[in-house]
A and B are shown apart, each in its own frame.
Chain A
């Protein structure tokens, strides 16, 4: 029982790490561009497939470095061409546009790489379990969590200590004032969007190594990421971080006692939060209400 529980807690934390990476990217984009990026799952899939294509040439480690950057560049292009004309308009339009974009990406990846799932080879070092007793903790799973922690730590360090980070945080609160202070908010939004998409691409590469690749895999991770943001509170990246881990853990633990409800439990959690604390765990009162 203890081992089963431990197994599912680990599972929950690993899934939670994915939710966090996805939700942080979504959250960044939502805070500064006021767009719910429905295509975020699509960018995850793009990242994964680029890694799959690159692996034979540059190996897994090379792909891990290059694929998210390429995905971010695609994101930059999308922001420049499609999203920028929508700034200042009703958020409805950004939502609808990225929704359509998600369709196109899913169908496009299917046309290019086929509907069949694709495996991504991971280095042999990472494929082994750590110890026979803890057979469920392979090196790769540990690596995913470490990578996620490292990236999240880096993101928070950038936001906390660099000029760019300060501007992004300030823009979340009041973009107009940031613009009035002489900051080029177009460039800021572009960079911020690319950063968000980078996180999606990275999640895609990491997920590909664990789960393999399918054109539809992005959509499955998108909804929990929404829930993570709602639970954590819109406008707070720390909240998103906690929210993602919390729902990952909740669904992991529920899987032990009531497997059928492991997916539903995150929504129950969301309903409870909305009932007891409508602004989310760390959401600012008055943000986006």
Chain B
């Protein structure tokens, strides 16, 4: 019972911090746009963690579906209709369907090999986005679209120029995605994912179709990733190939690991720390890449279980 009470208190604290962010962030030197960025990247890191922390499968190419989500949203706003909700749906579908399709090839491998194959397929999508410049704008990125006011018929909310309103829009989307993610993890399917993580062989002996479950988990996480990418396109009013690159995937994985990958909220904390550090370091020195690299090394050597790492250690490989 006390555990339940503590969980509720933690949830309340997290949501209070997020809802009040526009008010406390300026006090510590942040700005609202940074808050929206943290939420979007946190959602992406949580999607990676959906697979890594709860199924035990490492994808190092997930940025590809994030970047596709961004392009999906951009294309929808530019060529289909000037509607923000439609762009989110399109981004999610583009990222998710690509993930589901490639995932069927990828799930044939496991372990280090799985990670390598995900990187390689991620790079394919990166090259496509980079080379197909007539559609994607190539290296310059996709421009010429912007998020649209939310129209409810009786009222409309301007999320383009009003930064605070946009932050709350992103927060609402984040909440929706996180609620769905949490619901899936609580469901029998989510429990099965954890069973596969804990002991794949035993799960197989119990008659669980491992490959199909990992494929579904992979695809679901790609849909979340596409959704996060679409939000990211709305944050920047821009989409570019670098969003698909494997170094972006690395950032997501380190956010998850730094926060604590066995904890549902770990990636949120990891993303907040990562974005704040990156923002601060890049204003400080041109060699910020070295420091980000050093962060990777230090996290791996000294905080392998992350900041919220009170979970049990992972079984040795």
- Name A residues whose Cβ lies closer than 8 Å to a Cβ of B: 30, 34, 36, 82, 85-86, 88-93, 95-97, 99-104, 106-108, 111, 223, 226-227, 229-230, 234, 260, 263-264, 267, 270-271, 274-275, 278, 288-289
Number of A-B contacts (CB under 8 A): 128
Residues of B within 8 A of A260 (CB): 131
In the complex, how many angstroms separate the beta carbon of A82 from the nearest chain B beta carbon?
7
In the complex, how many angstroms separate the beta carbon of A156 from the nearest chain B beta carbon?
23
Which of B52, B115, B121, B289 gathers the greatest number of chain A CB atoms within 10 Å?
B289
**Cβ-defined contact, B295 with A100, below 8 A:** yes
Q: Give complex CA distance A93, B299 in Å.
A: 9
Q: Does B108 contact A (CB under 8 A)?
A: yes
Interface size grouping (class) on chain B: 35 or more
Contacts A91-B115, A227-B120 known; 14 new A-B pairs at CB < 8 A: A36-B112, A89-B317, A90-B316, A90-B317, A92-B58, A92-B253, A96-B257, A97-B300, A104-B293, A229-B116, A264-B124, A270-B117, A271-B105, A289-B111
Residues of A within 8 A of B121 (CB): 267, 271
Q: Give complex CA distance A101, B297 in Å.
A: 7
Task: Kindly report which residue of chain A lies nearest to residue B105, judged by CB atoms.
Answer: A274
Task: Kindly report which residue of chain B lies nearest to residue A283, judged by CB atoms.
Answer: B113
Q: Give complex CA distance A101, B257 in Å.
A: 17
Residues of B within 8 A of A230 (CB): 113, 116-117, 120
**Cβ-defined contact, A104 with B294, below 8 A:** yes
What are 10 sample pairs from A and B whose C-beta atoms fall under 8 A apart? A82-B301, A88-B317, A89-B316, A100-B300, A103-B293, A103-B296, A263-B131, A271-B105, A274-B109, A289-B113
Q: Give complex CA distance A102, B81 in Å.
A: 42
In the complex, how many angstroms separate the beta carbon of B50 from the nearest chain A beta carbon?
15
Q: Give complex CA distance A88, B316 in Å.
A: 5
Q: Give complex CA distance A99, B249 in Å.
A: 11
**Cβ-defined contact, A100 with B317, below 8 A:** no
Once A104-B290, A111-B287 are accepted as A-B contacts, the answer to whether A90 and B314 lie under 8 Å apart by CB is yes
In the complex, how many angstroms separate the beta carbon of A31 from the nearest chain B beta carbon?
10
**Cβ-defined contact, A96 with B250, below 8 A:** yes
Once A108-B290, A226-B119 are accepted as A-B contacts, the answer to whether A30 and B112 lie under 8 Å apart by CB is yes
Q: Give complex CA distance A96, B256 in Å.
A: 12
Residues of B within 8 A of A106 (CB): 289
Task: Kindly report which residue of chain A lies nearest to residue B294, judged by CB atoms.
Answer: A104
Query: Which 9 A-B pairs rank lowest in CB-CB distance, beginning with the nearest?
Result: A100-B296, A103-B293, A104-B293, A100-B293, A107-B290, A267-B124, A278-B108, A107-B289, A97-B300
Residues of A within 8 A of B32 (CB): none
Interface bits B97-133 vs A (CB < 8 Å: 1, else 0)? 0000000011011111101110111011001100100
Q: Give complex CA distance A65, B171 in Å.
A: 58
Residues of A within 8 A of B295 (CB): 100
Residues of A within 8 A of B316 (CB): 88-90
In the complex, how many angstroms separate the beta carbon of B270 from the nearest chain A beta carbon?
12
Q: Give complex CA distance A111, B285 in Å.
A: 12
**Cβ-defined contact, B301 with A267, below 8 A:** no
Once A92-B58, A264-B124 are accepted as A-B contacts, the answer to whether A97 and B297 lie under 8 Å apart by CB is yes
Which of A92, A104, A275 gathers the greatest number of chain B CB atoms within 10 Å?
A92
Interface bits B232-276 vs A (CB < 8 Å: 1, else 0)? 000000000000000000100110010000000000000000000
Residues of A within 8 A of B137 (CB): none
In the complex, how many angstroms separate the beta carbon of A41 from the nearest chain B beta carbon?
12
Q: Does B71 contact A (CB under 8 A)?
A: no
Interface bits B5-33 vs A (CB < 8 Å: 1, else 0)? 00000000000000000000000000000
Residues of B within 8 A of A263 (CB): 127, 131
In the complex, how many angstroms separate the beta carbon of B243 from the nearest chain A beta carbon?
17
Once A86-B300, A92-B257 are accepted as A-B contacts, the answer to whether A34 and B131 lie under 8 Å apart by CB is no
Task: Kindly report which residue of chain A lies nearest to residue B287, judged by CB atoms.
Answer: A107
Task: Kindly report which residue of chain A lies nearest to residue B245, judged by CB atoms.
Answer: A219
The residue that B120 contacts in the complex, of A89, A100, A223, A288, with Cβ under 8 A, is A223
Residues of A within 8 A of B184 (CB): none
Q: Give complex CA distance A270, B250 in Å.
A: 22
Q: Does B85 contact A (CB under 8 A)?
A: no
Q: Give complex CA distance A179, B294 in Å.
A: 33
Q: Give complex CA distance A97, B302 in Å.
A: 11
The residue that A96 contacts in the complex, of B120, B289, B290, B296, with Cβ under 8 A, is B296
**Cβ-defined contact, A267 with B127, below 8 A:** yes
Residues of A within 8 A of B105 (CB): 271, 274-275
Q: Does B218 contact A (CB under 8 A)?
A: no
**Cβ-defined contact, B314 with A100, below 8 A:** no
Those of B270-317 within 8 Å (CB) of chain A: 287, 289-290, 292-297, 299-301, 304, 314, 316-317
